[in-house]
Amino acid sequence: MCRALALVLLLGCFSVQGALWTITYPRPIDDTDERTQYPIALLKLALDKTGVNYELRPSDRILLSGKAMRQLRENRQVNVVWSMTDIQREKDLNAIRIPIAKGLIGLRVFAVNDKKRAKFKNISSIEDMRGFVPVQGEDWPDTKILQANGFNVFTVPEFDEAYDFLKQGRGDFFPRSVIEITPELEKLGKGSNISLEPSYALYYPTAMYYFVSNNNKTLANLIESGLRRAKADGSFDKLFQSTYLPVLDEINMSERTIFTIENPLLPDDTPLDDESLWYTSMQ
């Protein structure tokens, strides 16, 4: 009996290790988009740590964040998505609660129209900041966070429209995560009238996680196991530091005044007490 049970467990282990895992993530608008390179690299690192046989590939169609989350809920086109968390998303999907960018998704600097840069001089408080109109996407968690903190938010249906409206002088600033802003401004080009405001930032506690369907616990466990192994051996932190510390230096993050605001959408299960999961020089 014991031998039979051992054989079953061995065969089950072999099945998990030997099976080909096809893992599909949302195809970005541009396959060279730098914003997707780190999440993909970290996902590869985590999967490699598990020793499973896998194929990681983009979806057949371009999927922006909102649609990707809907497709994931319906088990269509993708089976993993990375995105900023909120209470509703963690109800709808299985969040792997290891912040993949160590909370930098909540550290926001400002894309501004060059004609409005002078308006940002001599800001001394969050009350001063509330006098400016941020541009955000209609269904983004950031929109509700800013509104809850007293900002009059100008919303747009699609991501690209935010920069288009900013170019037209509508709204005052587009708060973008420090992990997003540089490639976005580079894509706009040197001839654009949009640039990086040099002196200020907003911070709210939040996390970007990998999400999978609530029906795919096995994949969730696999990714979490790989991430924790990468944390344990230092390879997670090495990838994070090599990717993002130069970015923080480039935008002079250490010289900026940071205004911290509340995040009412932060789920109770967010692992804020585990300092190893967060970049701690933000507040």
Per-residue pLDDT of 242-268, as tens digits, reads 999 999 999 999 999 999 999 999 999
Q: How far apart are CA 178 and CA 172, in angstroms?
A: 18
- Are 265 and 141 in contact by the 8 Å Cβ rule? The answer is yes
- Tokens at residue 237, please? 């932190």
pLDDT, tens digit, 9 for 90 and up, residues 53-104: 999 999 999 888 888 999 999 989 999 999 999 999 999 999 999 999 999 9
Residue 100, strand partner residues: none
Distance, in Å, from the CA atom of 233 to the CA atom of 21, rounded to the nearest integer, reads 24
Mean pLDDT along residues 162-175: 94
Task: Provide the phi-psi class of 51: left if phi over 0, else alpha when psi is between -120 and 50, else beta.
Answer: left
